[in-house]
Structure 1
């Protein structure tokens, strides 16, 4: 993957196929809402079984969404053979709502790694009057794996 905007491998449809090839993402019902060079947005409809004992969204679900979103954003510029090298997340407030939106963007990319930021927002209403409430922020480092991806 060259990382140029005209590269057909960077299309939203191809990225959606990559997400659909992840059994865990299919299990959770994750969808790729936006994908372009340097950014990706994942959306996850929230279910009761994603909540913890106090009723709000479990932090593991938020971290999963951040991990996957930063990897898709980085892959949009590094190519498809990438792996997350690390993710840090800060939880800002309890997450309540019907939809989780993980919006990631590349902060810096070299030839072998990218650093990305991810804002995690929860949308409470349908239709949403705004972009949602910011509930967590994350940063991730994504590395070129050197291995071809498997379908």
Structure 2
């Protein structure tokens, strides 16, 4: 099946991410994009932690929301917005890097259902699943 949006590739996704002031503040990177999937990553830093030394749940929710939308955008096109999502925190998020790996579960013309695994990577490269999110993303083209 041909790529429906050959012009919406990783380089363009990087530009879209860079256009988001909050993403620049968190120093988020997009490392994979296309075929209904996206991976965002950010370094876990002290200023992103809560009082117990874990990555703040709001940072996890941001990463889930944004990666869900990028994954859906690779399937629906660049004009997308999150309609809603839920997140389940499973264990404290700590380590060196947070990865938000999102993949479209189902896409129609107007919306996509997307799942995201939020994984913390330790100094030695060990990955630990710390949260799971699922959301609905709407195609806003023509709205």
For Structure 1 versus Structure 2, the TM-score category normalised by the shorter chain is over 0.9
TM-score norm. by structure 1 comes to 0.89
The TM-score, its normalising length taken from structure 2, stands at: 0.94
Distance 2:59 2:5 in 1: 32
The CA distance in 2 between the partners of 1:146 and 1:80, in whole Å, is 8
Does the aligned pair in 2 maintain the 1:105–1:117 contact within 8 Å?
yes
In structure 2, distance between residues paired with 1:47 and 1:147: 40
SS of 2:78's equivalent in the other structure is coil
Partner of 1:133: 128
Report the Cα offset of residue 7 of structure 1: 3.5
CA deviation after TM superposition for structure 1 residue 8, in Å: 2.7
Segments of structure 1 that go 5 or more residues without pairing to the other structure are none
* Structure 1 position 143 matched with structure 2 position 138: yes
Q: Deviations for 1:74-115, whole angstroms, at most 9, x for unmatched residues?
A: 000100110000010000000111100000000000000000
Task: Please list, as runs of the form range in 1=range in 2, the aligned pairs for 1:41-120 lying within 5 A after superposition.
Answer: 41-120=39-118
Q: CA RMSD in A?
A: 1.7
- Structure 1 segments, 4+ long, off by >3 Å, are none
**Which residue of 2 is the match for residue 26 of structure 1?**
24
